[in-house]
Amino acid sequence: MGSDAHLIVVGGSARLLDRAIGRVEELEQRWSRFLPDSEVSQLNRWAGLPVAVSADTVTLVEHAIVAWRLSGGAFDPTVLGAVLRAGYDRSFDQFGDRPQGGHSVLGLGADAIAVRGETVTLPDGTGFDPGGIGKGLAADLVCAEAMAAGADGICVNLGGDVRLAGAGPDGGAWTVAVEQVGVDHPIVRLGLSGGAVATSTTLRRRWQVDGQTRHHLIDPQTGLPSDTDLTSATVVAGQAWVAEVLAKAVLLAGSTHPFDIMGATGAEALAIGQDGRVQATAGLAAFLGRQAVPASV
């Protein structure tokens, strides 16, 4: 998935960890746009035609459509063309020293994705990029399956999308540090007995093309890397795919009204501006214990 994976399984059979690792690898084989034989690559290759896919991929596409609606379009699974035009046409660890701008004629069309039984049809002229929601949903699936198989607790961290359930290694709650690129200490530490934490940032996966800095966070409204004045947004939610989608929406919203998208989602958030100012929703305090959110970093 173009990211590091970190899994911790508490209790249960020793085989549960191997099973969880294998499940992450299986989902990557199905969902990675960088693998030519993945089901996502097949959807993109045959856009305009129905493609038979696994139940996992049907679940991914259905969640991506819900995420597009939930985020008011801030997350768009058909943003692939814009991602390719920005130059993100291969796994980030393969960029090398001289990344190039890309070319693509693909456009948007999330509203016209069709799911019927075991087939998915992308609109002709579009491409599907699961992006962060793929990592978040994978973490949710692996977490739920491990708990159902007898784990006492589990932490699945896929590139910063963290899903937690059950008992932590010491038998109590889990602690998740919220970090910021360039800051040598956690901004806050969150205590959770379950749920998910996801961070979206413009400070990672950056590259230069013709002297201009680009990053992977594409604004679907412009088709360009976002010019938001926030550098990161972290969301705590019940599920990792929801936390991931809302984190991106908060980040794109900017510092003036970053949390309007949260609405009645039940999620909480923290955002950091380019000036270092930290903002947080009032409900985040429930996860902080005696800590206070710093005014700046």
Dist. CA 297–CA 295, nearest whole Å: 7
Q: Which CATH superfamily is domain 34-129 in?
A: ApbE-like superfamily (1.10.3980.10)
Supply the pLDDT for residue 211: 61
Dist. CA 159–CA 5, nearest whole Å: 6
Supply the pLDDT for residue 89: 63
Dist. CA 133–CA 146, nearest whole Å: 20
User: What phi-psi label fits residue 19: left (phi over 0), alpha (psi between -120 and 50 degrees) or beta?
Assistant: alpha
Strand order in the sheet with 161-166: 5-10, 153-158, 161-166, 195-201, 230-237, 268-273, 278-280
Query: What pLDDT digit, counting tens, does each position of 206-240 carry?
Result: 556 656 666 567 888 887 787 899 999 999 999 99
DSSP string covering 52-110, please? E--HHHHHHHHHHHHHHHHTTTSS-TTTHHHHHHTT--S-GGG--SS--------B--G
What kind of architecture, by CATH, is found in domain 173-297? Roll (3.10)
Dist. CA 108–CA 223, nearest whole Å: 9
Dist. CA 103–CA 80, nearest whole Å: 11
DSSP letter for 111, please.
G
Q: Which helix (H) or strand (E) holds 122?
A: none
Supply the pLDDT for residue 92: 52
Supply the pLDDT for residue 86: 79
Q: What is this structure's pTM?
A: 0.92
Pick out the chain residues at pLDDT < 70: 88-101, 205-216
Supply the pLDDT for residue 213: 61
Supply the pLDDT for residue 205: 62
At 281 the three-state DSSP class reads: coil
Asked if the domains 34-129 and 173-297 are classified in one and the same CATH topology, the answer is no
Instruction: Give, rounded to a whole angstrom, the gap between the first and last alpha carbons of the chain.
Output: 30
Q: Which helix (H) or strand (E) holds 247?
A: helix 240-253
Give residue limits of the domains in the chain.
34-129, 173-297
Q: Name residues whose C-beta falls within 8 Å of residue 88's C-beta, 6 or more positions apart in sequence.
A: 102, 205, 216
Dist. CA 39–CA 123, nearest whole Å: 16
Work out whether strand 195-201 and strand 161-166 pair parallel, antiparallel, or are unpaired. antiparallel
